[in-house]
Amino acid sequence: MPVVDALAAEYADEVDFVAPAWKSSLEGAQARADELFLSGKIQWGLDEPEKIFQLYGVPYQPVTVLIAGDQTVVEAWAGVRGEEDLRAAIENLIALSG
């Protein structure tokens, strides 16, 4: 998550970073967000009814879903990617949304 947090700070003016949590308590999610999202640029919340996860067909975490401004899913993947792959995916999202 440190890589995602750093990219969120770098791209904050162009991309919204949202991190819904699930299967947790609000207090547990808050504590984890405080540990992971030091930049303050990642919006997070607890998706207790799992509506977001159902909407995008996410069966487990971590999953990344890149969504354009028109709400089109541009790319989605399960698991972790390195900084260069994430940066390329974000740049592609920006190019498609611009």
In angstroms, what CA-CA distances link 81 with 10, 25, 31, 78, 89?
17, 27, 24, 9, 10
pLDDT of 1 above 80: no
| The pLDDT value given to residue 10 | 97
Pick the CATH number of 2-97 from 3.40.50.620, 3.40.30.10, 3.30.70.100, 3.40.50.11740: 3.40.30.10
pTM of the model: 0.87
Cα–Cα distance, 88 to 82 (Å, whole number): 10
Cα–Cα distance, 44 to 28 (Å, whole number): 12
pLDDT band at 5 (very low <50, low <70, confident <90, very high): very high
Residue carrying structure tokens 């995008």: 56
| The pLDDT value given to residue 56 | 87
Average pLDDT value for residue range 9-37: 93
pLDDT digits (tens, 9 = 90+) for 47-65: 989 999 999 888 888 899 9
pLDDT of 86 above 90: yes
Beta bridge partners of 42: 17
Where in the chain are the domains? 2-97
Classify the C-alpha dihedral 67-3-36-79 as positive or negative.
Answer: positive
Residue 95 vs residue 61, higher pLDDT: 95
